[in-house]
């Protein structure tokens, strides 16, 4: 398995920026990008898309409830239940997956998003040290964990 190159990683950063800019008219501030050395403490709401085909692995979007509530309110949604927050983070993960396919090629297969509630450690499954992008939007933190590799 081959590691992702800088341009492949940038597509996830740019995808997150574009998502927020289109939805909120404000890009998030990217606060750090690093290789994780331990399990990560995520936020309460997590959306995961799994990749197969030309790439193997997954991307996790992890956000606190307040950030998701603000996003839903901006869309005119008044149902701020946990189920709706999970749907929202799953949709963000799905959007990142779709954007990845546009850049990484049609051979990239993407799962339906898995939505999980709880902030227990995010564990790498493919890479020993997954890529992590942390951000802040409207004073709210979030993270995207890119745990994938290119197939040989």
Q: What is the pLDDT of residue 40?
A: 79
CATH architecture of 6-150: 3-Layer(aba) Sandwich (3.40)
The conformational region for residue 96 under phi > 0 = left, psi -120 to 50 = alpha, else beta, is alpha
Name the pLDDT band for 104 (thresholds 50, 70, 90).
confident
pTM of the model: 0.91
Domain ranges of the chain: 6-150
Is the pLDDT score of 62 beyond 80? yes
- The DSSP H or E segment spanning 69 is helix 65-74
Q: What is the pLDDT of residue 124?
A: 58
pLDDT tens string 10-31: 888 888 889 899 989 999 999 9
């Amino acid at each position: 398995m081959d590691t992702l190159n800088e341009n492949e990683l940038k597509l996830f950063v740019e995808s997150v920026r574009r998502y927020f800019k289109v939805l909120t008219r404000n890009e998030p501030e990217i606060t750090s990008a690093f290789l994780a050395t331990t399990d990560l403490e995520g936020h309460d709401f997590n959306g995961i898309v799994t990749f197969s085909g030309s790439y193997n692995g997954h991307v996790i979007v992890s956000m606190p409830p307040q950030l998701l509530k603000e996003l839903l309110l901006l869309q005119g949604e008044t149902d701020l239940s946990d189920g709706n927050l999970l749907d929202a983070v799953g949709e963000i993960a799905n959007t990142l997956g779709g954007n990845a396919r546009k850049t990484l090629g049609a051979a990239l297969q993407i799962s339906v998003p898995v939505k999980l509630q709880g902030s227990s450690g995010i564990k790498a499954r493919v890479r020993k040290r997954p890529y992590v992008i942390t951000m802040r939007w409207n004073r709210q933190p979030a993270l995207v964990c890119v745990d994938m590799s290119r197939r040989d």
